[in-house]
């Protein structure tokens, strides 16, 4: 029963993310405690999100802003390796506060501008998003909020963010395997969630084209803000 519930949640969160570009990963990981063992939450979540983001990017690959991808990948790889070394040694309690502050700064402030160099900026985003993702699970809004500040078009925003998260989750899964996590124990759940999120991505991709750009950006900023405030609330209280 727990597996069926997670598969259904995976479908709807993936569909919602394909429309708005984010939020599904955070909602999904928030639903997982109690349904799977704590040690499996982030690894299994990573498998589902890899399938969700890869399919979302593949269904509309022509909209990807590839010039952001290479520097993001290099930062992600370094961040994943470093986080794998530190994962069992640091206090994770206040990391969500950092993520929340970063999101709010990007959405409502001036954002990060490292010498106005594109590569340096997205290298840093990739490093932070993947390193923190190894520790807290869902960090997609970090890269997404940065793309919002770049004023990219709606489809480019959603699909380029999906590319970022595909990179992030692929590296995370590799690092979890290196650390000895056995994905085989959860193969049926992972397969069911993967199929569900791909179906959700397909339906959501077609729904997204019916959402006006102006409404899309307003909803996106509000959603990012709500998610950031929720992180702060859950961490402090």
The confidence score (pLDDT) of residue 192 equals: 95
Mean pLDDT by 10 residues, the chain (237 residues): 90 86 76 83 90 90 87 91 75 69 73 51 87 74 77 84 91 89 93 95 85 72 81 80
pLDDT of residue 33: 80
- The model carries a pTM of 0.77
Distance (Å, whole) CA 98 – CA 95? 5
Measured CA to CA in angstroms, residue 204 lies from 11, 38, 46, 117, 155 at distances of: 10, 30, 20, 33, 12
Phi, psi for residue 37 in degrees, rounded to 5: -60, 145
Distance CA 14, CA 25 (A): 8
The whole-number pLDDT of residue 90 equals 61
């Amino acid at each position: 029963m727990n597996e069926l519930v997670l598969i259904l949640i995976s479908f709807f969160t993936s569909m919602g993310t394909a429309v708005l570009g984010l939020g599904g990963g955070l909602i999904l990981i928030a639903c997982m405690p109690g349904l799977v063992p704590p040690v499996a939450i982030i690894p299994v979540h990573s498998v589902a999100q890899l399938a969700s983001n890869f399919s979302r990017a593949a269904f509309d690959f022509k909209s990807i802003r590839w010039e952001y991808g290479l520097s993001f990948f290099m930062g992600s790889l370094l961040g994943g390796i470093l986080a794998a070394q530190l994962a069992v040694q640091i206090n994770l309690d206040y990391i969500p506060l950092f993520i929340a502050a970063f999101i709010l700064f990007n959405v409502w402030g001036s954002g990060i501008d490292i010498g106005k160099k594109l590569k340096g900026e997205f290298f840093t985003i990739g490093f932070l998003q993947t390193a923190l993702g190894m520790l807290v699970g869902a960090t997609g809004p970090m890269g997404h909020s940065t793309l919002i500040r770049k004023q990219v078009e709606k489809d480019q925003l959603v699909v380029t963010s999906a590319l970022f998260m595909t990179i992030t989750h692929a590296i995370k899964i590799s690092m979890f395997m290196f650390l000895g996590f056995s994905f085989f124990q959860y193969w049926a759940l992972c397969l069911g969630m993967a199929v569900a999120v791909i179906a959700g991505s397909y339906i959501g991709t077609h729904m997204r084209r019916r959402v006006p750009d102006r409404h899309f950006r307003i909803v996106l900023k509000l959603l990012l803000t709500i998610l950031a405030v929720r992180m702060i609330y859950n961490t402090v209280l």
